[in-house]
Structure 1
Amino acid sequence: MVFSLSQREWRPADPKAEGKPASGTIKLWPQVLVALTASLAHLSLGTVLAYPAIAVPQLTKPLLPDPSQYPLKTGAGELNRRHNTTLQETFNQSQVGEAPPLVYLLDNSTVSLDRLNYTLTRSDTSSSLPPRPHEVWLSHSQATWFASVHTTGAIMGSVVCGPLVSSMGQRRAILITSPFILASWLTIWAASLFSLLVSARLVLGICIGVTGTAAQIYNVEIAHESVRGSLTCLTDFFVGLGLLFTYALGMSGLGWRWTAFTLGLVINLPLIIGIAMFPDSPRWLATRGRKEDARKALSFLRGSNYDVSAELENIMKAGNGGSKNTLGQQVRSLKNPGVYMPFLTSCGLFIFTQFSGPYVMYSYTIYIFQAAKVSVNPYLSSVLVGVARVVGSAVGLVVVERAGRRPAMMVGGIGAALSLGCLGFYFFLQNGHGGVRYEQWLPLASMISYTLIVGATISPIPFLLSSELLPLSFRSLGSAVSKIVFYLASMVATCSFPTLKENLGPEVVFPLYAVSALSLVLLVWKTLPETKGRSLEEIEEYYKGLNK
């Protein structure tokens, strides 16, 4: 085999040219079925990301009763229209912790604007609005914590993930954490205190920090190199489905409580039942010296007509036949260019991807559309963005295998930068700079194009590469640490967005994200090899060649 570093690819890529013997016909459906089930963990990740977008507006801006639905004694229609704005303004002027104001209408009716439970009382009747359950209203700072605290939990989960996956395997790590995800969603459903809401979001973050990494590695390690890119990118496709599903529930008017209840049950029960039925990763079994179990797992994944002997021997060799690297040995191995080069590349991809704003877009979708003052309903706009994310992820399943990792990342980075630049330009025009009339369609078109491009390229591929590039002996620790970097970058981007928007304005913030997307293109061009069509063992051999 010949390696060409300058072209960032391996030659020859044809297995027949390297003398690899035919081993029979591979069945794809077992790998697809296992990958689909494991990807439900990333469906859960998508719901955790999108939930603040539909919950925060409901938790911070409680809806007033519509006076048109409750006719008053005198001049009902005109009176309702006259006082509807006054009611909302009075409510907005009241501060958290103040006694709720009481607004008097012309016919001696009163509206009690209690933040916990308000009713409409009329002097001439005993009828009132249906009583509301005890609610939770969030201040601006509390809403920011609620929207971003999952990233802190995800960092903690990534720290736990490395040792957990190394000792118990990816499949069992998912099985252990999935019940806690279900319990967290049910806690949000029943919560009456901000502390419970934020604690449940923190636990959700810890769990997705474990399951997200574990599912990604699991899909990489069970897949044959001919379909590894597509099966691994299924996880990002499921993230898009989770976003869309959550946005759709928000548009349906289900409410933030019952949305949480639905998300907890619909996703996690199938994941728990499904993942328990499948074998562990053959490569993880190889690191434990369980050769026969690895053979059985490979036979299940490849089909009974495929001879797994050659693949099994390569896997056992890469796994050192069961010799176990300690944590200290894995850390010391970072002195080796064959370890630190792919590790640093993986971390760099995550940093520049997150600083280009995808998690900001997912968490603040409705907030951004409200700031843009688009004529389309913000909740409907969020659903359109969710559809674009799913379509983009579906396109990515094909792009990653047909175009390759490097071209897709470079084209995606340039496309994302252009979309972000257009969105920033819209806000520049909106603020009256240059006296140019801004167009209402531009923010929606920019968000949809950005989400479509990101979903097809720069969102799924870094996760795929973080598992492909790292050597097997360092994969569990390296993947966990790179995910810590990923969630740190996500937390910084998500938490800083409201402050940056207030101090710099969106016309500056979104172009800054575009600069990060262009920096990603430069990093890919300079450091990333093409991994399409190469086995994990061949990729590892490539980086070992850097020592020579």
Structure 2
Amino acid sequence: MTTSREDTKSLVICDDAGYTKIGHSKTRQHVAAILANLATLCIGMANAWTAPALPLIQRQTDVILPLYATEEQASWISSLLPIGAVVGALPAGYLADKLGRRRVLLMMALPFFLGWMLIVLAADSVVQVFLGRFVIGVAAGACTVLVPLYNEEIAEDSIRGILGVYFDFIGCLGILFMYVLGACLSYMWFTLVCTGVPLVFFATFFWMPETPTFLLSKHLFLEAEKSLLWLRNGSIVYHGRTQPEIMRLLSRLQETTRTDRPSLLNKTTFKTVAIVLGLMFFHQMDGMNAVVFYAVQIFQDAGSSISPSCCSIIIGTALTLAILVPTFTVDRIGRKPLLLMSSIAASICMAVLAGYFYYKDNDFDVDSWRWVPLASLVTYVSFLSMGFGPLPFFMVAELVPTAAKGRVTAYAIAFNRSITFMLTKMFPFFVHDIGAYITYGFFSGMCMLAAIFVAIWVPETKGKSREEIQLLLRN
């Protein structure tokens, strides 16, 4: 006969074989989330690849490559990634609900690898680079849907925010990694390095479990129990340990199955979708992706006294370090204060940058002010990385009811990437034809509108269970 007792630190199962201790450590949840986010590392590297690559293939440096792209072709090289992301995001939710979050994430390693190989082998073919960027974009779009979904479903409520922030933190690591590679290696070598990261992702994430929520939705109760026990750092299957959480997950699935499919005329559903789309809209319209994609060119235009490559590395470092703030505070301070702080501060930074370019473009002497673009952009990306950079993605997974999560998240990411395409395609023309100061002034205004949106519409989800969040939205 088996007996059990539980204290604040561990559960001890006593049977004929002796005692087996099951700890309450959250380490395995962190490990699974970090390995899932190696796909996000691929996304960050793909986003930042254009910063060191475009000046080389547009002949803006002394390095001569077989590959050459005009300004129009270069804008397509940047913008085909988000177009592919839209294509990848739309079916990702459906596939995740049919095949599982883990399985579809593993499948995305192949298009990441193939896309980079197309670029490596492109020689002088710009069309092949187009195709490679599009294929990488398909994988990036799907992973942008799946990684936050996976992290949210494996997490306990107490660390859901931290695991969610990993998405942007590791993505920023990918951006910094690419900026450093671009400054230190030749075009061929820093592109070739990108082909190896998807292989590392596949080889390590392969050993991680499927989410208990998905397994329960497929009535795979024993597998869900094993997954949950592994994630909660257990070593044997013990029904008494996992049953309360299993029952909560089942109850949540049954409740959302009954209520998640009303039309948008339903007040709660309309409100949830409006908040989700608003977060995705302002996440892009704050201008962060434009800065990441065109960092080197921005500093070239600004006439910075520091080399553009060094400036981009400083930007990438600021992105990565600043994301540590929400990593340790999002479950203490809350989502809403961080969103408000980041959007207001980013608005001020963009206004300062717009002022600098206004004086520069109108032939004022700005030689003594050439530090302003770097200081403004470092402060800008730092504050966005504390709030509007990482928080919208995992808040989508928090806000959307369980049964509708795959579909709504896919639509939200597709919407987000559609805006990314528009901005990355048009950004060079806005800067050169309309004016840099007008472009950055526009971003400043959008950041302030984002703060107003958060203050009025976005609920605080810190420390709330998924049931409490849905009740808050309904009320």
> TM-score of the superposition, structure 2-length normalised?
0.91
Note if contact 1:171-1:215 (Cα within 8 Å) is conserved in structure 2. Answer: no
Match of 1:314?
248
1:180 deviation in Å?
1.6
Match of 2:55?
57
Match of 1:153?
84
Q: How does 1:350-499 map to 2 (within 5 A)?
A: 350-432=280-362, 439-499=369-429
Note if contact 1:184-1:201 (Cα within 8 Å) is conserved in structure 2. Answer: yes
Note if contact 2:144-2:413 (Cα within 8 Å) is conserved in structure 1. Answer: no
1:381 deviation in Å?
0.6
Identity fraction in percent: 26
Letter of the 1:29 partner, please give it: T
2:164 to 225, 232, 236: 232
Match of 1:14?
none
Note if contact 1:426-1:438 (Cα within 8 Å) is conserved in structure 2. Answer: no
Note if contact 2:101-2:210 (Cα within 8 Å) is conserved in structure 1. Answer: yes
1:513 to 427, 443, 450: 443
Are 2:225 and 1:295 equivalent residues in the alignment? Answer: yes
Give the aligned CA root-mean-square deviation in angstroms. 2.1
Match of 1:258?
189
1:432 deviation in Å?
3.7
Partner Cα separation in structure 1 for residue 432 and residue 297 of structure 2: 13
Are 2:215 and 1:217 equivalent residues in the alignment? Answer: no
Match of 1:208?
140
Match of 1:74?
none
Q: Which one is further off, 212-221 or 21-30? A: 21-30
Partner Cα separation in structure 1 for residue 61 and residue 389 of structure 2: 35
Deviations 1:4-46 (A, max 9, x none): xxxxxxxxxxxxxxxxx98956211110100110011111110
Partner Cα separation in structure 2 for residue 437 and residue 258 of structure 1: 36
For structure 1, which runs of at least 5 residues remain unmatched after alignment?
1-20, 66-114, 117-134
For structure 2, which runs of at least 5 residues remain unmatched after alignment?
1-6, 11-22
Match of 1:18?
none
Partner Cα separation in structure 2 for residue 308 and residue 496 of structure 1: 52
> TM-score of the superposition, structure 1-length normalised?
0.79
Note if contact 1:291-1:316 (Cα within 8 Å) is conserved in structure 2. Answer: no
Note if contact 1:149-1:198 (Cα within 8 Å) is conserved in structure 2. Answer: yes
Note if contact 1:155-1:206 (Cα within 8 Å) is conserved in structure 2. Answer: yes
1:37 to 23, 31, 35: 35
Query: Aligned pair in 2 of structure 1 residues 436, 363: CA closer, same or farther (>3 Å)?
Result: closer
Secondary structure of 1:227's match? Answer: helix
1:62 deviation in Å?
6.1
Q: How does 1:252-291 map to 2 (within 5 A)?
A: 252=184, 254-265=185-196, 267-291=197-221
Match of 1:47?
45
Partner Cα separation in structure 2 for residue 197 and residue 163 of structure 1: 29
Note if contact 1:37-1:274 (Cα within 8 Å) is conserved in structure 2. Answer: yes
Partner Cα separation in structure 1 for residue 358 and residue 188 of structure 2: 37
Q: How does 1:170-189 map to 2 (within 5 A)?
A: 170-189=101-120
Number of aligned residue pairs? 452
Partner Cα separation in structure 2 for residue 324 and residue 332 of structure 1: 10
Note if contact 2:262-2:269 (Cα within 8 Å) is conserved in structure 1. Answer: no
Runs of 4+ in 1 over 6 A off after TM superposition: 433-437
Are 2:433 and 1:503 equivalent residues in the alignment? Answer: yes
Letter of the 1:172 partner, please give it: R
Query: Aligned pair in 2 of structure 1 residues 159, 236: CA closer, same or farther (>3 Å)?
Result: same
Note if contact 2:284-2:419 (Cα within 8 Å) is conserved in structure 1. Answer: yes
1:467 deviation in Å?
0.5
Note if contact 1:50-1:246 (Cα within 8 Å) is conserved in structure 2. Answer: yes
1:433 deviation in Å?
6.4
Match of 2:122?
191
